[in-house]
């Protein structure tokens, strides 16, 4: 009978160990699923932010092009006005 009792105790310890391992396995599986969901969300956020950054860079390039065009037009106007002013100054000097 002593062997039978030892076998029962051993079996009970094995079953308890197996239950504990299964419980830990379930917990770890749940954690893996949660981490995978977080990873998926982070990847989606990364992709969204990359797209927003790309859009912002395009808008910046467009704004820079408009600024360059406006500065060019302003420089041309300034040059035209200076030329017209010199012509008027010459006319005034001619009249004197």
Three-state SS sequence of the chain: CHHHHHHHHHHHHHHHHHHHHHHHHHHHHHHHHHHHHHHHHHHHHHHHHHHHHHHHHHHHHHHHHHHHHHHHHHHHHHHHHHHHHHHHHHHHHHHC
Q: What are 4-18's pLDDT values in tens digits? A: 766 776 677 788 889
Q: Read off the pTM.
A: 0.61
Q: Work out whether the CA dihedral 41, 45, 51, 54 comes out positive or negative.
A: negative
The mean pLDDT value of the chain amounts to 92
pLDDT at 15: 83
Q: What are 57-81's pLDDT values in tens digits? A: 999 999 999 999 999 999 999 999 9
pLDDT at 1: 53
- Give the integer Cα–Cα distance in Å for 40 and 35: 9
């Amino acid at each position: 009978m002593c062997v039978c009792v030892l076998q029962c105790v051993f079996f009970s310890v094995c079953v308890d160990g197996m239950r504990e391992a299964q419980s830990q396995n379930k917990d770890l599986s749940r954690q893996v699923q949660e981490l995978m969901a977080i990873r998926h969300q982070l990847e989606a956020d990364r992709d969204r932010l990359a797209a927003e950054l790309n859009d912002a860079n395009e808008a910046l390039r467009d704004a820079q092009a408009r600024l360059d065009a406006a500065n060019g037009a302003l420089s041309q106007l300034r040059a035209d006005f200076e030329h017209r002013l010199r012509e008027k100054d010459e006319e005034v000097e001619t009249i004197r």
